[in-house]
Amino acid sequence: MLTKKQYELLSLLNTRIKETGVPPSFDEMKDALGLKSKSGIHRLISGLEERGFIRRLPHRARALEILKLPENMTDTPDNTTNMPEIIAENVIRGDFGPERSQNLQTNKSGDGEAASIPMLGRIAAGTPIEAISDPSSYVDIPTSMLHGGEHFALEVDGDSMIEAGIFDGDTVIIERTNRVENGTICVALVDGEEATLKRLRRKNNSIALEPANKDFETRIFGPDRVAVQGRLVGLVRKY
């Protein structure tokens, strides 16, 4: 499923290419989507390319080819009005702040104590995407998996962490913290709005968000562009 911004960009590309034969410039894309920098456009294009919707043509400036469109996308200029309700209603900023923090309840079961922690939505194990939140949902986790403090759960979307044993559809348990050691798998917030699950490494004045899948690239950011939201402490998988 595309995020709201990915859908808006794909719609813009489709409309402009049909009208003029060439895609808009990065500045035009940035202004049309209301983004502050062109780095956000780079991320959106990478996300659309990885999902097979577009292809960048080598050795040609501003050369993008649309390979497919979502079934619900029409050719009208304002395609975002035709977005499905699940996208329009559920896509939010990826800021897991205190207002969505843990409301811990302990339950006794035949297998011992379990704690109910909030399921805050989906987290990208791939190109960073906007988090999708459902704060009314809770999951029961064995208290032995928790480390004190605040915790929340997220559903993994993508396969960039499969070599670390984290698969699409898994539920990861995150301890809320803004500090992690080098090499820790954590929830990282990029540019204040997009969350991703990656291994974080600091070197000099840069931060690397490393996938655990050879098919994905490590992404490098300045320290002011990445904020740690929490660290991975457990994983639940349904069979």
Rounded mean pLDDT of 212-224? Answer: 91
Task: Report the residue count for the chain.
Answer: 239
pLDDT in tens, 140-179: 888 888 877 889 899 898 888 999 999 988 999 999 999 9
pLDDT band for position 59 (cuts 50, 70, 90)? low
Compute the distance between CA of residue 103 and CA of residue 38 in angstroms, rounded to an integer. Answer: 38
Among 192, 224, 193, 197, CA closest to 209: 197
**Closest by Cα among 129, 163, 122, 165 to 6:** 129
Q: Using the predicted structure, report yes or no on whether residue 221 has a pLDDT greater than 80.
A: yes
Question: Are 156 and 131 a contacting pair, CB within 8 Å?
Answer: no
Residues pairing with 198 in the sheet: 186
| Lowest-confidence segment of 10-14, 84-88, 155-159 by average pLDDT | 84-88
User: What's the mean pLDDT in 82-102?
Assistant: 37
pLDDT at 1: 58
Q: What is the per-residue pLDDT for 37?
A: 78
Question: What is d(CA 129, CA 142) in angstroms, rounded to the nearest whole number?
Answer: 29
- Among residues 42, 164, 171, 178, the alpha carbon closest in space to that of 101 is found at 178
Dihedral pair phi/psi, residue 83, rounded to 5°: -65, 145
> Taking each helix axis from N to C terminus, what angle separates 38-50 and 4-20, rounded to the nearest 10 degrees?
90
Q: For the residues 182-205, what does the mean pLDDT come to?
A: 90
- Strand, coil or helix: 25: coil
How does residue 124 score in pLDDT terms, banded at 50, 70 and 90?
Answer: confident
Report the pLDDT averaged over residues 68-77: 66
Q: Which residues are the active-site residues?
A: 160, 198
**DSSP for 87-118, written as a single string:** HHHHB------GGG----EEEEETTEEEEEEE
Write down the pTM of the prediction.
0.56
Angle made by CA atoms 36, 129, 39, in degrees to the nearest 5: 30
Q: Which CATH superfamily is domain 98-236 in?
A: Umud Fragment, subunit A (2.10.109.10)
Band of pLDDT at residue 89, cut at 50, 70 and 90? very low
Q: Could you tell me which of 109, 122, 138, 147 has the C-alpha nearest to residue 234?
A: 147
Give the confidence band of 131 by pLDDT, cuts at 50, 70, 90. Answer: low
Q: Around Cβ 68, how many Cβ atoms within 10 Å?
A: 11
CATH for 4-90, among 3.40.720.10, 1.10.10.10, 3.30.9.10, 1.20.1050.140? 1.10.10.10
Whether 185 contacts 226, CB under 8 Å:
no
| 41 neighbors 12 (Cβ within 8 angstroms) | no
Task: Say how far apart CA 165 and CA 65 lie, in whole Å.
Answer: 34
Q: Are 94 and 228 in contact (CB under 8 A)?
A: no
Q: What residue spans define the domains of the chain? A: 4-90, 98-236
CA dist 239 → 111, 139, 169, 236 (Å): 19, 16, 10, 10
